[in-house]
């Protein structure tokens, strides 16, 4: 079920009212209710894949219980391997089977041994990369004795399947979210009001920024040989804001929705396009995934507290694995490797923890140095985004070759397709992106782009709410475009 759908507009108020007025009186009943509605939410896409969530939940629930019962290292390792095998087994089969078979067959063909590969139409379950990481992290944390296993089956199933963040995160840790399912909830108007502000901002970023950008991005990337370098550069910029508006918009809606039910989810985006270097960017972009890889892959490998060559190895591993997590295509692996190359000089110079605070802390505007740093980081980021968006590595290089040709300074008009005729103009879109950036700049130390509105006078605050709602209504693209990260 999409957040930007009629079905969700009907589903949400019904669930909200039943949650607070019927099921909130008993914690167990409330958690069972959340499991049921979460399964309805997910099953609306394809009910058959609910079995994967159920199996993953059962496996990690019982693995956790068994881990708590023994201190025998060998047995504990076997139990953890069961969790990892089941979760990564599902993920590997549904997400990467065709990728490995295709590359295996291609390798044999290059060696002069044609290989008749099996054909299997494997459908990728929505959100499998998110909920498998979420439930697997529970088993790892219990194994590491960072937390004790829960005996509450309903609470655990609700933790794994909680519908606001089920299909695209944030990827929550059990140590943060699971205890919240055992708390008595009382409706908090202040928290709910801020949650509504965050939802409004999330819909603005998704429907106005991301979905309008998507129209131009699709046309430019599909027909990049027909356009000049300047148009391709604009297409790369639009994609940067498409993926940001789409994914951070989803996170805002998810976090805001959870707050309406009395749950606190982690911030997933901290205004990453205001970053002054790539290290800061990755602390602010998809925070829940970056921290997951850091805690469960990078640090166990030794992180940067090892020899120089091992630190370089670990950096490439973490970024390439992160790239591969995003999709079964060499473009994502190149994207990850390119970000590793960006990151290495900062890490080797031990400057990767330099920009911890927000840009221009305590100031209205950044200074010239910060403007240059932000601009350079954003430029490097959009170069990497070309690989993320392109259909193949060769097309990504071709795109960049044309983009940086002498036509970079020659403007060409984007062809008027049916989709483009239904979208807002490029000029209007650029203006709305600037509008978004202004709001987010002044809220860059907050949790979302409208948080400071609560400090404004009632009339000003509500005037801006209405204005943003009108922008969504009249400038939004209501083609019900799926969120990009549903594919991951």
Neighbours of 234 (CB within 10 A): 21
- One of 326, 410, 448, 457 is an active-site residue; which one? 326
pLDDT reported for residue 108: 61
Q: How far is CA 138 from CA 69, 70, 150, 292, in A?
A: 16, 17, 10, 12
d(CA 59, CA 51): 12
Above 70 in pLDDT, residue 119? Answer: no
Percent of the chain scoring above 90 in pLDDT: 73
Q: How far is CA 25 from CA 17, 100, 135, 161, 186, in A?
A: 13, 50, 27, 21, 10
- What does pLDDT average to over the chain? 90
CB 383 within 8 A of CB 289: no
Question: Which structure tokens are listed for 243?
Answer: 């993926």
The secondary element (H helix, E strand) that includes residue 164 is: none
ω into 364 cis (within 30 of 0): no
Mean pLDDT within 357-379: 94
CB 399 within 8 A of CB 390: yes
Global pTM value: 0.93
Q: What is the pLDDT of residues 155-209, one digit of tens each?
A: 999 999 999 999 887 999 999 999 999 999 999 999 999 999 999 999 999 999 9
pLDDT reported for residue 188: 94
418 has catalytic annotation: no
Tokens 């970053």 belong to 275
pLDDT reported for residue 478: 82
Least confident among 42-56, 175-189, 249-263, 374-388: 42-56
Tokens 């006078």 belong to 457
Tokens 């983009």 belong to 403
Q: Residue 411: which pLDDT band, with cuts at 50, 70 and 90?
A: confident
Q: What is the pLDDT of residues 133-155, one digit of tens each?
A: 999 999 999 999 999 999 999 99
Above 90 in pLDDT, residue 486? Answer: no
pLDDT reported for residue 329: 87
Above 80 in pLDDT, residue 438? Answer: yes
Neighbours of 179 (CB within 10 A): 13
Q: What is the pLDDT of residues 8-35, one digit of tens each?
A: 999 999 999 999 999 999 999 999 999 9
pLDDT reported for residue 415: 73
pLDDT reported for residue 153: 96
CB 42 within 8 A of CB 486: no
Above 90 in pLDDT, residue 44? Answer: no
Angle, CA 324 vertex, CA 320 and CA 329 arms, to 5°: 120
What is the domain partition of the chain in residue ranges?
6-186, 190-276+355-487
ω into 89 cis (within 30 of 0): no
pLDDT reported for residue 225: 92
Torsion of CA 86, 91, 97, 98, to 10 degrees: 170
Q: Residue 219: which pLDDT band, with cuts at 50, 70 and 90?
A: very high
Least confident among 8-12, 227-231, 324-328, 336-340: 324-328
Mean pLDDT within 221-231: 92
- Please spell the DSSP secondary structure of 241-270, one letter per residue: HHHHHHHHHHHHHHHHHHHHTT--PPP---
Above 60 in pLDDT, residue 120? Answer: no
Question: Which structure tokens are listed for 162?
Answer: 């909680």
pLDDT reported for residue 116: 66
Q: Residue 368: which pLDDT band, with cuts at 50, 70 and 90?
A: very high
pLDDT reported for residue 194: 95
Above 70 in pLDDT, residue 394? Answer: yes
Mean pLDDT within 268-296: 95
């Amino acid at each position: 079920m999409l957040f930007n759908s009629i079905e969700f507009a009907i589903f949400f108020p019904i669930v909200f009212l039943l949650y607070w007025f019927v099921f909130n009186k008993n914690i167990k009943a409330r958690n069972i209710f959340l499991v049921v509605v979460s399964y309805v939410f997910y099953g609306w896409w394809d009910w058959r894949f609910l079995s994967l969530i159920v199996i993953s939940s059962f496996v990690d629930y019982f693995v956790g219980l068994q881990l708590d019962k023994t201190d025998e290292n060998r047995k504990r390792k076997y139990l953890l391997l069961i969790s990892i095998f089941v979760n990564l087994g599902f993920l590997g089969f549904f997400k990467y089977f065709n990728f490995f078979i295709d590359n295996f067959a291609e390798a044999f063909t290059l060696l002069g041994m044609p290989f008749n590969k099996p054909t299997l139409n494997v459908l990728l379950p929505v959100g499998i990369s998110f909920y498998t990481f979420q439930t697997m992290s529970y088993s790892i944390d219990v194994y590491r004795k960072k937390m004790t296993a829960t005996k509450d089956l309903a609470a655990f199933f609700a933790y794994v399947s909680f519908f606001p963040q089920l299909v695209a995160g944030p990827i929550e840790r059990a140590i943060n979210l699971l205890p919240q399912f055992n708390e008595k909830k009382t409706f908090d108007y202040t928290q709910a009001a801020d949650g509504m502000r965050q939802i409004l901002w999330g819909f603005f970023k998704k429907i106005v920024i991301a979905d309008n950008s998507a129209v131009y991005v699709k046309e430019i990337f599909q027909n990049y040989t027909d356009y000049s370098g300047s148009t391709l550069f604009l297409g790369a910029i639009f994609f940067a804001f498409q993926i940001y508006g789409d994914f951070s918009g989803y996170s805002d809606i998810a976090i805001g929705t959870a707050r309406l039910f009395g749950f606190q989810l982690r911030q997933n985006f901290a205004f990453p396009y205001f970053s002054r270097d790539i290290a800061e960017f990755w602390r602010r972009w998809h925070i829940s995934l970056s921290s997951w890889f850091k805690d469960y892959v990078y640090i166990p490998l030794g992180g940067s507290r090892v020899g120089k060559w091992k630190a370089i190895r670990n950096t490439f591993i973490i970024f390439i694995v992160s790239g591969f997590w995003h999709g079964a295509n060499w473009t994502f692996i190149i994207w990850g490797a390119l970000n590793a190359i960006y990151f290495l000089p900062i890490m080797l110079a031990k400057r990767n923890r330099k920009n911890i605070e927000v840009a221009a802390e305590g100031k209205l505007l950044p200074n010239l140095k910060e403007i240059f740093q932000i601009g350079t980081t954003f430029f490097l980021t959009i170069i990497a985004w070309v690989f993320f968006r392109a259909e193949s590595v060769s097309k990504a290089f071709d795109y960049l070759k044309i983009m940086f040709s002498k036509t970079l300074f020659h403007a060409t008009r984007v062809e008027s397709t049916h989709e483009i005729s239904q979208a807002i103009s490029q000029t209007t879109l650029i203006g709305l992106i600037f509008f978004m950036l202004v709001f987010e700049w002044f809220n860059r130390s907050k949790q979302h782009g409208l948080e400071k509105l609560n400090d404004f006078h009632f009339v000003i605050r509500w005037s801006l709410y209405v204005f943003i709602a009108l922008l969504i209504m009249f400038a939004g693209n209501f083609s019900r475009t799926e969120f990009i990260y549903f594919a991951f």
